[in-house]
Amino acid sequence: MATDIFDTRESQVRSYCMNWPATFAKASGPYQWTEDGTRYLDFFSGAGALNYGHNHPELRDLIVDYVANDGVTHSMDMKTPAKRRFLETFERIILEPRKLDYKVMFPGPTGTNTVEAALKLARKVTGRQHILSFTNAFHGMTLGALSVTGNSMKRRGAGIPLTNSSKIPYDDYFDGDMPDFLWLEKILEDSGSGVDKPAAVIVETVQGEGGLNAARMDWLKSLSDLLRRHKILLIVDDVQAGCGRTGKFFSFEEAGLYPDIVCVSKSISGYGLAMALTLFKPELDVWEGGEHNGTFRGNNLAFVTAARALELFWADDSFQNQLAERITELNEGLKRIAEHVPGSSIRGRGFLTGIHFPNPDTAGKVAAEAYKRNLLVETSGPQDEVIKLMPALNIESEDLQKGLAIIEESLLAATG
Ligand code: PMP
């Protein structure tokens, strides 16, 4: 039999991860099928890029129609009807009802691109260089985004000094002993502290890669108040926690924040297509034409599906209410499962959630056992010590329960 290119040694460097040896050929809703037709339930959802599952039929049909009618696919900065429709829909369904006034920028295709644009904009607006970010943060893989990332394994590969940034403790880093930011205020005000006044602070409301650490709402609010007092910009990286993952469209809504800059990507296209937005308050628009550009900033297929996905899921409260019910169901399931391992705890918020186990090896073993039982599920955290559940937000209750039962069985197999 001919060697499959995926089995050659060289293929290791081409792939994102080899945890799942199967080759996937078809996908629909919360399921994927391998080439030989074996079905897997997907609790990975493209690392949060598939919040509405795979190949949503209505979105798929729109793409097929658009291509069949020779719609423009690549347009960079050119105006197209698809881009207009996306911008109008985003304004009407997302920004206006939340009383958020943002300019919308397409900074490039990925989450990393929106983070880069946010950091550059904050530095240009304030004329300051320093950026503060948090322990265990993850913001992307380019040098600017890596400089604000907390994970030293990810940063190490860069091999050269990264741009001017420092890490401060995320909520609960010291087991919840830091209810306010008085310590930070002192450091910022003390000219002897050696800490340059930053241009911005960048934060994830739930640290998706860093172990599903969820910031408390009052912590986020006091961070935002402190930054306002000191005229430091607040950047919320909603690349993973946004687009409904935590139960609301933006993950900061419940905390009542109005960040200066917001990074959005992953599920914004509604279909797993590369797309990113950088949202910023109008008064921060200091960009000169062409100052932040790139070839892939106008994917019209993504505009087409993104606009319709917003209408399908966010035009009124019904999807959000159904999601709230599923979140309760998921939490109840997680509580039941966590009881099997003393010392374990539930992490995250909404549908960006999982279980932290005291033994760092457990989560990886559970994921491997789950794969044997046809469930795709990932781990998170600096030691991959958290099993991370990210089902599609529109998953049916029956499928959610099926996945939870597999995780419970897998945990018993992994620890028994
Ligand atoms: N920010 C956050 C919070 C993320 O979770 C990620 C991706 N996991 C990124 C930025 C980078 O996004 P991308 O991989 O699309 O570049």
Tens-digit pLDDT profile for residues 135-167: 999 999 999 999 999 988 777 766 666 778 888
Ligand 1 center to residue 354 CA distance, Å?
18
Choose one of 287, 314, 341: the last residue of a domain.
Answer: 314
Check if the beta carbon of residue 321 is closer than 8 Å to that of residue 327: no
| Lowest mean pLDDT, pick from 7-11, 202-206, 391-395 | 7-11
Instruction: State percent of the chain over pLDDT 70.
Output: 94
CA separation for the pair 361, 383 (Å, rounded): 8
Check if the beta carbon of residue 396 is closer than 8 Å to that of residue 322: no
Best CA proximity match to 348, nearest among 364, 327, 319: 327
CA separation for the pair 163, 4 (Å, rounded): 41
pLDDT in tens, 343-366: 999 999 999 999 999 999 999 999
Calculate the average pLDDT of the chain. 93
Q: Are residues 269 and 362 in the same domain?
A: no
Q: Are residues 327 and 300 in the same domain?
A: no
Asked if residue 208 is part of any domain, the answer here is yes
pLDDT at residue 282 above 90? yes
139, 238, 251, 378, best to mutate for ligand 1 pocket (most atoms within 8 Å of CB): 139
Does 237 sit in the ligand 1 pocket, CB within 6 Å? yes
Helix axes 397-415, 318-338, angle to 10 degrees: 20
Choose one of 314, 342, 366: the last residue of a domain.
Answer: 314
End-to-end C-alpha distance for the chain, whole angstroms = 38
Does 406 sit in the ligand 1 pocket, CB within 6 Å? no
Asked if residue 239 is part of any domain, the answer here is yes
In order, the DSSP letters of 275-321 are --EEEE-GGG--PPTTSS--S-S-BHHHHHHHHHHHHHHHSSSHHHH
Average pLDDT over residues 237-247: 98
| Lowest mean pLDDT, pick from 148-162, 227-241, 373-387 | 148-162
Q: Are residues 10 and 158 in the same domain?
A: no
* Residue 158 pLDDT: 63
* Residue 4 pLDDT: 73
Q: Which secondary-structure segment (H or E) carries 353?
A: strand 352-356
Q: Are residues 222 and 120 in the same domain?
A: yes
- The SS3 assignment for 104 reads strand
Structure tokens at 129: 């260089």
CA separation for the pair 37, 203 (Å, rounded): 41
* Residue 111 pLDDT: 98
Output the domain CATH number for residue 354.
3.90.1150.10
Best CA proximity match to 199, nearest among 135, 280, 120: 120
| Lowest mean pLDDT, pick from 55-59, 189-193, 249-253, 282-286 | 189-193
Does 375 sit in the ligand 1 pocket, CB within 6 Å? no
* Residue 8 pLDDT: 64
* pLDDT bracket for residue 17 (50, 70, 90): low
Average pLDDT over residues 68-83: 96
Asked if residue 19 is part of any domain, the answer here is yes
CA contacts within 13 A on the Cβ side of 282: 2
Q: Which secondary-structure segment (H or E) carries 68?
A: helix 57-68
Q: Are residues 327 and 202 in the same domain?
A: no
Q: Are residues 48 and 90 in the same domain?
A: no
Asked if residue 89 is part of any domain, the answer here is yes
* Residue 15 pLDDT: 54
pLDDT at residue 191 above 80? yes
Output the domain CATH number for residue 177.
3.40.640.10
**Residue 132, domain extent:** 72-314
Which residues touch 128 (CB under 8 Å, ≥6 apart)? Answer: 196, 197, 198, 199
Ligand 1 center to residue 134 CA distance, Å?
15
CA-proximal residue: ligand 1, atom 5 (nearest): 240
* Residue 14 pLDDT: 54
Asked if residue 65 is part of any domain, the answer here is no
Number of domains in the chain: 2
Pairing label, strands 352-356, 386-389: antiparallel
pLDDT in tens, 101-145: 999 999 999 999 999 999 999 999 999 999 999 999 999 999 999
Asked if residue 192 is part of any domain, the answer here is yes
Q: Are residues 208 and 193 in the same domain?
A: yes
Q: Which residue has the higher pLDDT, 20 or 160?
A: 20
pLDDT at residue 319 above 60? yes
* Residue 356 pLDDT: 98
Structure tokens at 190: 């003390």
* Residue found by looking up tokens 């990886």 in the block: 364
* Residue found by looking up tokens 């900065």 in the block: 77
CA separation for the pair 137, 146 (Å, rounded): 10
Best CA proximity match to 253, nearest among 333, 347, 317, 160: 317
pLDDT at residue 177 above 80? no
Q: Which residue has the higher pLDDT, 273 or 151?
A: 273
* Residue 38 pLDDT: 98
Does 269 sit in the ligand 1 pocket, CB within 6 Å? no
Q: Alpha carbon of 151 to those of 5, 177, 215, 261, 396: distances in Å?
A: 31, 22, 18, 23, 35
Ligand 1 center to residue 111 CA distance, Å?
5
Asked if residue 96 is part of any domain, the answer here is yes
CA 384 centroid distance within chain: 17
* pLDDT bracket for residue 178 (50, 70, 90): low
Check if the beta carbon of residue 354 is closer than 8 Å to that of residue 212: yes
Check if the beta carbon of residue 358 is closer than 8 Å to that of residue 344: yes
